[in-house]
Amino acid sequence: MYELIAIDLDGTLLDDDKNITKENLKALNWCKKQNIITVLASGRGLSATRSIAKKISSFNDYHICCNGGLIFNTYKEDHKIIKTLNQNDFNNIIDDLRYINASVGVQSPDGFYYEINTNADMLKEKVFYSDKDLIKINLKNVKEPILITCYINNKKQYDEIFDIIKKYDINITQSEKNWIEIFPKGVNKYNALKIIADSYNIDKKNIIAIGDQTNDIEMVKNAGLGICVKNACKDLKDVSDMISPYSNNQNAVYHIIKEILKCSILLNIFI
């Protein structure tokens, strides 16, 4: 019996307009009534993930942000940092990224830090952050750096950043087509999810995980049932137990819950 469902946000639960559809929301509310725990697992930062969590959660729910670098409670201010970037490595990486003129931001529990105004404009356009969460600062002064975000326009930029990261013992992944995340080795959504599952004494065989990008691979691969949406990248499809015939713009999460959890109520809810 499935007791926990972990869901990525962008490209999975949210449609391309960054909204939760009424179908997906009703499916999650059904899970709540059945005592099936919903865990959001996102590459977004704390504030941007919490804003979505408040739309679906009860008081005691815990969720994952920063690609597994941080666990937080929906309404309480407490959070658990899984691991931060090594300060020396972090400073060197920032220097290297500045040298190639990369568009860079840094996520910490306190907000998203940037140096160039265009970074803030890009993030606001994607409705990830509000003005109060965007902080202009010398990036080397960021305390508790959890994740470095880079915006890329083409493969050349990706290759340049990848060549930099190869020099360090850290992870690199993509949460969306134009966004690269750099974070500590050993940090991923599944490891954070396991901490939450263990707190509820839930075995991994009783977990469903749903995603769309490479930052979901560990979570989808290690869950009892790993599912990707139709619009998922090839690397995630290759490790998924199941590929949904529905995309994030077609209420994929609703259809997955309806079919996998055999929710007869949902079968007729929108007829």
pLDDT given for residue 93 in this prediction: 95
**Which structure tokens are listed for 102?**
């990369």
Residues 185 and 53: their CA atoms lie apart, in Å, by 26
Average pLDDT over residues 52-74: 88
Q: Is 13 exposed, middle or buried (0-12, 13-18, 19+ CB in 10 A)?
A: buried
Residues 110 and 90: their CA atoms lie apart, in Å, by 17
CA 130 to chain CA centroid, Å, is: 18
Q: What single letter denotes the amino acid at residue 197?
A: A
Q: What does the DSSP 8-state code read for residue 202? A: -
3-state helix, strand, coil in the chain (%, to 5): 40, 25, 35
Q: What single letter denotes the amino acid at residue 49?
A: T
Query: 22-33 and 252-260 are packed helices; what angle lies between their axes, rounded to 10 degrees?
Result: 30
**Which structure tokens are listed for 177?**
């087509």
Q: Where are the beta strands (DSSP E) in 153-240?
A: 170-176, 179-184, 207-211, 225-228
Residues 252 and 231: their CA atoms lie apart, in Å, by 10
Strands 242-243 and 62-65 turn out to be unpaired
pLDDT given for residue 135 in this prediction: 87
At residue 72, does pLDDT exceed 80? yes
At residue 76, does pLDDT exceed 50? yes
At residue 38, does pLDDT exceed 90? yes
CA distances from 12 to 33, 38, 65, 266 (A): 22, 14, 15, 19
CA 33 to chain CA centroid, Å, is: 24
At residue 127, does pLDDT exceed 60? no
At residue 128, does pLDDT exceed 80? no
Q: Which residues contact 26 (CB under 8 A, 6 or more apart)?
A: 254, 266, 269
Q: What is the mean pLDDT of the chain?
A: 89
pLDDT, tens digit, for every residue of 206-223? 999 999 999 999 999 999
pLDDT, tens digit, for every residue of 168-214? 999 988 777 778 889 999 999 999 999 999 999 999 999 999 999 99
At residue 271, does pLDDT exceed 60? no
Binned at pLDDT 50, 70 and 90, residue 239 comes out as: very high
**What is the share, in percent, of the chain residues with pLDDT greater than 90?**
66
Q: Is residue 88 within a helix (H) or strand (E), and if so which, with residue range?
A: helix 87-99
Q: Which of 6, 28, 5, 18 has the alpha carbon at shortest distance from 249?
A: 18
**Which structure tokens are listed for 271?**
């007829």
Q: Which of 86, 93, 87 has the alpha carbon at shortest distance from 165?
A: 93
Residues 65 and 196: their CA atoms lie apart, in Å, by 13
Binned at pLDDT 50, 70 and 90, residue 153 comes out as: confident
Binned at pLDDT 50, 70 and 90, residue 58 comes out as: low
At residue 154, does pLDDT exceed 90? no
Is 236 in a helix, a strand, or coil? helix
Q: Which of 215, 207, 139 has the alpha carbon at shortest distance from 177?
A: 215
Residues 186 and 106: their CA atoms lie apart, in Å, by 19
Instruction: Measure CA of the first residue to CA of the last residue in the chain; give whole Å.
Output: 28
At residue 267, does pLDDT exceed 70? no
